[in-house]
Amino acid sequence: MVSAAPRLVVIGADDGVRLARAARLAGHYGIPRLPAADLLLRRQPLPAGGYVIDSAPQLLDAERGIGGLRPALAFADLVVLLHGEEWTGADEARRVLRYYEARGMLAAFPPDAPDGDLIVAVDAVLRGRTEDPPEGPDGGP
């Protein structure tokens, strides 16, 4: 059975825009919004029913262990990158973003893109799911 709730990560440098967008996406899908800083500090397990994590890119770029992704990223369905007007792509060439871009799981939008555009991208990812989300590893993100 395929779960209807997405596992999203919203990345953007502008805190206000990112937080508002993450909150609206979480509200639309009826799932919790989790600040990445809180997840990293508390090491709480990720909700099985989907989530929206909001983060500045540098918070999620650090490696965990030997070259592994943090579980919040390892199990995400889609990473939504909110880039500013001056964005060229080179600024955001961090390891995590390159990882998701190579797998077709990175969707970049300008900060003022309509919510509907993001929802269309998320829904397309959910339709592409072939199985339930895996259980996250013990110990949280």
**What is the token pair recorded at 134?**
């895996």
- Whose structure tokens read 């390891």? 95
C-alpha dist (Å) from residue 108 to 1, 79, 95, 140: 29, 8, 16, 27
The counts of H helices and E strands in the chain are 6, 5
d(CA 97, CA 11): 9
Q: In this predicted model, what pLDDT tens digit does every residue of 20-77 receive, in sequence order?
A: 999 999 999 999 999 888 877 777 778 888 999 988 776 766 555 544 455 556 678 8
pTM for this model (two decimals) = 0.77
Specify the amino acid at residue 26. Answer: A
* pLDDT at 141 (0 to 100): 46
Q: In this predicted model, what pLDDT tens digit does every residue of 115-133 receive, in sequence order?
A: 999 999 889 888 876 555 5
